[in-house]
Amino acid sequence: MSASAMIEKVKTFRHGIHPAEFKDYTKNLPIERIPFTNEYVLPLSQHLGGPSRAVVKPGDKVYRGQLIAEASGFVSATLHASVTGKVKAIESRNHPSGNLVKSIIIERDPYSPQTLHNERKIDWEKISPKEALREIQMGGFVGLGGAAFPTHVKLAVPPGKKARFFIINAAECEPYLTTDHRMMLEQADSMLLGIRISMKILGAEKAYIGIETNKPDAIEYLRQVIPSDMACEVAPVQTKYPQGAEKMLITAILKRDVPSGKLPIDAEVVVHNVGTLVGIGDLFKHGKPLIERVVTITGPGIHRPANLMIPLGMKLNQVLDYCGGLKENTRQLLFGGPMMGAPQSFLDVPIMKGTSGIVALTDKEVFPRKERACIRCSRCIDACPVFLNPSRLGSFARVKRYEEMMDFHLMDCIECASCSYVCPSSIPLVQRFRVAKGMLREKQARERAGKKS
């Protein structure tokens, strides 16, 4: 394909930013399986929604892939043992969110071969979409892109709505991360199976795999392996942040807008991440629930960057040890990418379902910045992918006039941090918006509680 034809085909959204990619650390490294360690910490709250309820007791023997916690409602997820061993305790442990969260601690049985409990093949063509959805729900699947929203909730189309299009989010727009890239190259068959099953459940007409053009090998490879009988098309999208935000990807590929305050299903679309679909594929191939995930361990602070298949619940310091430890000038450790990831203050926090990457940044990348006055350059306005006015919102937030920020559509902010990234005055815009949103949400909750009483 000539260069000009390629450019014509590339789809995108308006606004956004172009951070440096730093994907060279790991993009050519095949996924490795990390050796098992002795203790695993599985927090009961690894997803959006209600925390899971433990169904095992301390002292119980559990097998790899066995159910250890059930969902506490529809918007919740089940949890499975990621290793064969014994339940050591159910107690509060450090959680990547910074709180203490009730977790199931499993001690590995060193003599177990660690084979999968109840290995089976599920014939997806024979079972009904409802049964398939039930399997996914019982498999404990959540969005592996980072938000960890329960997958079965997204796949269950509410009555009266239609999911005509299915988008596979393979943009991976966060710098440094390469998990989706490697999975597409190495586990495409599982992903395609996952797509087929999801399309059957949704009744979708057509699937699009949205891949940023910085992964030409994945685009080319998938174009070769997608069978001709599948209504699935690779949609190259421009390398731009936040291309992988659900709403941006829908706008780029389908030229449809998700209305303010609504979900993609209101635009007849459902979006899933590559990792989630590979997981669904593996579930139907081997009966493997969500017990491990691919994590990119990368950044200038890591001695040996890698793409690792890590059982859930493995502790951060053990993963870092496997990668040769941290360099001395490491200043910040992030779960997730550098744009939206969460910095960690404890090294014993577990790898969770939503942990897409571990990025170690050094003194060169991270240093305190002094906030200066807004110079009205409007770079944040040109960057905001949801067309807000971050400068205006920022000045309201600075003086804590949160109510008025609602009039400027604060709640539509997707917290992508593009505004903070481009601000030449280092104004902590997105940080202030997150505080404002938190305060407003709490206020609404108080008002609701007040009305009830």
Partner 1 sequence: METITAIGFIFGLSVVLALVLAVANAKLKVFEDPRIDAVEEALPGANCGACGAAGCRSFADSVVKGEIEPSRCTVGGTATAEFIANYLGIDAGSAEKKVARLLCAGGSDVASQAAAYEGFSSCRSAAAVTGGPKGCAFGCIGLSDCEEVCGFGAIQMAPNGLPVVDVSKCTACGDCVTVCPKKLFEIMPLSRHLIVQCKSLLAGEEAEALCSVACTACGRCVADAPTGLLEMKNNLPALDIKKLDLQTSIATFRCPTSAIVWIEAQQFPELYDDL
- Which of residues 70 and 415 has its CB atom nearest to partner 1 in the complex? 415
221 is a contact residue toward partner 1 (CB under 8 A): no
92 is a contact residue toward partner 1 (CB under 8 A): yes
43 is a contact residue toward partner 1 (CB under 8 A): no
147 is a contact residue toward partner 1 (CB under 8 A): no
- Kindly state the smallest distance separating residue 273's Cβ from partner 1, in Å: 23
- Which of residues 3 and 399 has its CB atom nearest to partner 1 in the complex? 399
CB under 8 A: which stretch of 29-37, 96-104, 256-264, 285-293 binds partner 1?
Answer: 96-104
Which position among 6, 100, 230, 377 is part of the footprint of partner 1 (CB under 8 A)? 100
- Kindly state the smallest distance separating residue 221's Cβ from partner 1, in Å: 37
276 is a contact residue toward partner 1 (CB under 8 A): no
CB under 8 A: which stretch of 88-96, 200-208, 258-266, 278-286 binds partner 1?
Answer: 88-96
445 is a contact residue toward partner 1 (CB under 8 A): no
- Token pair of 47 as six digits: 């997803």
Which position among 94, 190, 296, 425 is part of the footprint of partner 1 (CB under 8 A)? 94
Number of residues located near partner 1, criterion CB under 8 A: 25
CB under 8 A: which stretch of 178-186, 317-325, 336-344, 376-384 binds partner 1?
Answer: 336-344
- Kindly state the smallest distance separating residue 388's Cβ from partner 1, in Å: 19
* Close Cβ partners of 319 (under 8 Å, ≥ 6 residues apart): 34, 295, 297, 308, 310, 351, 358
3-class SS string, the chain: CCHHHHHHHCECCCCCECCCCCHHHCCCCCEEECCCCCEEEEECCCCCCCCCEECCCCCCEECCCCEEEECCCCCCCCEECCCCEEEEEEEEEECCCCCEEEEEEEEECCCCCCCCCCCCCCCCCCCCHHHHHHHHHHCCCECCCCCCCEHHHHHCCCCCCCCCEEEEEECCCCCCCCHHHHHHHHCHHHHHHHHHHHHHHHCCCEEEEEEECCCHHHHHHHHHHCCCCCCEEEEEECCCECCCCHHHHHHHHHCCCCCCCCCHHHHCEEEEEHHHHHHHHHHHHHCCCCCEEEEEEECCCECCCEEEEEECCCEHHHHHHHCCCECCCEEEEEECCCCCCEECCCCCCECCCCCCEEEEEECCCCCCCCCCCCCCCCHHHHHCCCCCCHHHHHHHHHCCCHHHHHHCCHHHCCCCCHHHHHCCCCCCHHHHHHHHHHHHHHHHHHHHHHHHC
Which position among 116, 138, 342, 414 is part of the footprint of partner 1 (CB under 8 A)? 342
Which position among 58, 98, 324, 424 is part of the footprint of partner 1 (CB under 8 A)? 98
432 is a contact residue toward partner 1 (CB under 8 A): yes
Which position among 431, 444, 445, 447 is part of the footprint of partner 1 (CB under 8 A)? 431
- Which of residues 131 and 442 has its CB atom nearest to partner 1 in the complex? 442
Which position among 343, 365, 389, 440 is part of the footprint of partner 1 (CB under 8 A)? 343
Candidates 1, 27, 68; CA nearest to 239 is 27
- Which of residues 92 and 329 has its CB atom nearest to partner 1 in the complex? 92
344 is a contact residue toward partner 1 (CB under 8 A): yes
- Kindly state the smallest distance separating residue 40's Cβ from partner 1, in Å: 20
424 is a contact residue toward partner 1 (CB under 8 A): no
391 is a contact residue toward partner 1 (CB under 8 A): no
Residues that bind partner 1 in the complex, under the rule CB under 8 A: 92, 94, 96-100, 342-346, 366-368, 400, 428, 431-432, 434-435, 438-439, 442, 446
